[in-house]
Chains A and B, each alone.
Chain A
Amino acid sequence: MNAFEQELREALRSAYDFGSEYPHPLLITRIYAELERPVPQHHRREWVGGAAAAALAVVVVVTLLWFSFQPRVSTPISSGPPPSGPEAGTAAILANNHLVYLTPGDIQPYWDLALADPPDLKVSHGYAGLGHRIAATPDGALIYALPARDMNGGSELAVVATQSSAERLIQLPDHNATARYGAVSVGPSGDAWIVGSVDKHIEIVRFHRQEGTITSWSGRDMAHWVPQGPVGGDYQIYEVQVTNDEQRVYYSYTGGLLSFAGMDWVDISGQRATTCTPPAADQACIKGLAGFLVRGNDVFITTASDQPTGAIDQYGLDGTLKDHIELGLLSGFLEDFALGPDRNHIYFFGSCGYSGGMAALDLTSRTANVIIHAQPAYSTLTNHPCGQSSAFVSDTLIALGRVSALLPGYGAGQILFVDSSNGRLVRSVPVTSEPIAVVAIH
């Protein structure tokens, strides 16, 4: 062996020094337990064997008891057959940074995965949800999630296999430890598009699913946005959507400076990201509150101008306000909505902390239909659908993250399944913490 080979041998030992504790001392126990298993099954890492097996059994029993003693608030508002059409799975990210997955018809999570430590819930805008976000690939195989460090989001992307819950945490660009990513979406390619704030400018990130690589672009400078008041924090990226050709990325942001909030977009061309031109340096290209939908050349966006009732604005992409549509609900920061399967109706739920209620908007006729009337002090009612984030999981069934007060909390939460035609609560699924964002897994 020559000197180079000897040096290579030593360098390899140094480069791949995993310490004396690797592999895990229980690996042999785990293998032996697998050999003893009567029916071959595929599981994630499970330290079964000896005390670990006993501990696992205790956890299972306690979990089952916990679920069995959870208060059931799923008393149907009206009886009747279940909504038609096959149901998709549902995933939700909870306030405590757990990710849960429900198979169709589940009455408890199929799996519950802790992605990160719970975030700091003390600082908020006073009305907005936290920076947890979630999206699923078109084939339903993967869930992308952004666990939150605080109200503005986090700096890691969790990529989770839907069936097995195998996960990877990927560090997103984080210069000077200032990054807060608050929105994730998926393009037709299955790649994740993430938008955040880094050093006071917008950062757009594409996670390439096949290659496992990340591309990022620096976007608009947001230095004009000054954190407001003791609970104001900074601006919060709320939502991102990408066009079918994945060349344009729309994103919205919100926060204490509501007059600055709204939606921008960037056009991606190679290494260049060109931001839309706003009417003024401190204005958004499209003024709005949070959730939005781009439909042709029109943008439907939630609005802070929701007096006397909850409302939505329709803009052209040139920034022209085309319509201000009253939804017939009471005011109270309607932030989000779900696009119906016909792609012509969007469905709103009032915040449980404000006035609740449910309405549908026909995007073509721009007429709203109140399905459940809003009521003041709605939060005292527990058997009616209310919340923020929602998604259609079948032709007629909406999964809704119920947040019981103005802001999400660590207390036990529920994912509600609501019949979109009449607002009937079909079932509810208890989860360990309040659900911040939900998505359908097709």
Chain B
Amino acid sequence: MDGPSEEDLIQSARSGDKLAYEQLLRPNLPSAARLARVLLGGPGEAEDAVQEAAIRGWKKLDNLRAGAKFQPWFLGIVVRQVRSIQRDRWWTTIRLPELSSLEPGAQDKALQGEDLRRAISKLPPSQREAVLMHFYLDQRIQDVATSLGLSQAAVKSRINRALRQLRVSVATKDLL
């Protein structure tokens, strides 16, 4: 393996090495930003959330257990930051695609995506987070559990309930 291990980087970051922390963050920013953007809706707000989460992570590195992976821990901070923003936020908006500007085939796809986004947005927050982390970010169940501070059984339960609701909300035959 090239370069320092994740554990080494965590150790260096804990001792104040910001470059080491940056090396830890860099590969995880795309996942974190995508998750925040799906949960919050807007790119700028999502990046602000990731930035704030990164700063909080820096201050709380000592809370990362020895041997624990960085990504689930950091995504957990992102999720908590998103929740904080959502608590403070007083409105949301859903931007619809400009259908007239799309090719006929693309219109169907856009509609499918929009319907799925609406269905996802109707899930309870705890289920939405679990589903997105598992199916959208490809996180393992045990990592989702670490991020959300839940047991693996609880995560599975939330995902199963969400899938049941998604099957009802979305005409799966047509949309998925």
CB pair A23–B166 under 8 Å, yes or no, is: no
CB pair A31–B51 under 8 Å, yes or no, is: yes
Tell yes or no: A28 within 8 A of B by CB: yes
A196 to B109, CA, bound (A): 34
CB pair B91–A159 under 8 Å, yes or no, is: yes
Tell yes or no: B18 within 8 A of A by CB: yes
Question: In the assembled complex, which residues on chain B have CB atoms less than 8 Å from the CB atom of A18?
Answer: 34, 37, 43
CB pair B58–A45 under 8 Å, yes or no, is: no
CB pair A22–B116 under 8 Å, yes or no, is: no
A208 to B90, CA, bound (A): 9
A286 to B172, CA, bound (A): 56
**Residue from A24, A32, A168 in contact with B93 in the complex, judged by beta carbons closer than 8 Å:** A168
Tell yes or no: B6 within 8 A of A by CB: no
Question: In the assembled complex, which residues on chain A have CB atoms less than 8 Å from the CB atom of B101?
Answer: none
A9 to B137, CA, bound (A): 9
Knowing A5-B163, A32-B18, A35-B21 are in contact, say whether A12-B136 is a contact too (CB < 8 A): yes
Residue of B nearest to A44 (CB): B48
Contacting chain A: which of B22-30, B63-71, B148-156?
A: B22-30
Tell yes or no: A69 within 8 A of B by CB: no
Residue of A nearest to B32 (CB): A23
CB pair A16–B135 under 8 Å, yes or no, is: no
Residue of B nearest to A213 (CB): B91
Tell yes or no: A51 within 8 A of B by CB: no
Question: In the assembled complex, which residues on chain A have CB atoms less than 8 Å from the CB atom of B42?
Answer: 168
Interface string of B70-96 (1 = CB under 8 A from A): 000000000000000000011111000
A244 to B32, CA, bound (A): 44
Question: In the assembled complex, which residues on chain B have CB atoms less than 8 Å from the CB atom of A40?
Answer: 55
Q: Which residues of A36-78 have CB atoms within 8 Å of chain B's CB atoms?
A: 36, 40, 44-45
Question: In the assembled complex, which residues on chain B have CB atoms less than 8 Å from the CB atom of A24?
Answer: 43, 47
Taking the closest CB of chain A, its distance from the CB of B17, in whole angstroms, is 11
Taking the closest CB of chain A, its distance from the CB of B131, in whole angstroms, is 8
Tell yes or no: B123 within 8 A of A by CB: no
CB pair B22–A4 under 8 Å, yes or no, is: no
Taking the closest CB of chain A, its distance from the CB of B102, in whole angstroms, is 14
Q: Which residues of B120-157 have CB atoms within 8 Å of chain A's CB atoms?
A: 120, 132, 135-136, 138
Tell yes or no: B9 within 8 A of A by CB: no
CB pair A35–B93 under 8 Å, yes or no, is: no
Q: Would you list 17 pairs from A and B whose C-beta atoms are within 8 A, ordered by A residue?
A: A4-B163, A7-B176, A9-B135, A15-B112, A15-B113, A18-B34, A22-B33, A24-B47, A27-B50, A28-B29, A31-B22, A31-B55, A35-B18, A35-B58, A210-B90, A211-B91, A212-B89
A residues touching B (Cβ–Cβ < 8 Å)? 4-5, 7-9, 11-16, 18, 22-24, 27-28, 30-32, 34-36, 40, 44-45, 159, 168, 170, 208-213
B residues touching A (Cβ–Cβ < 8 Å)? 18, 21-22, 25-26, 29-30, 33-34, 37-38, 42-44, 46-48, 50-51, 54-55, 58, 89-93, 109, 112-114, 116-117, 120, 132, 135-136, 138, 163, 166-167, 172, 175-176
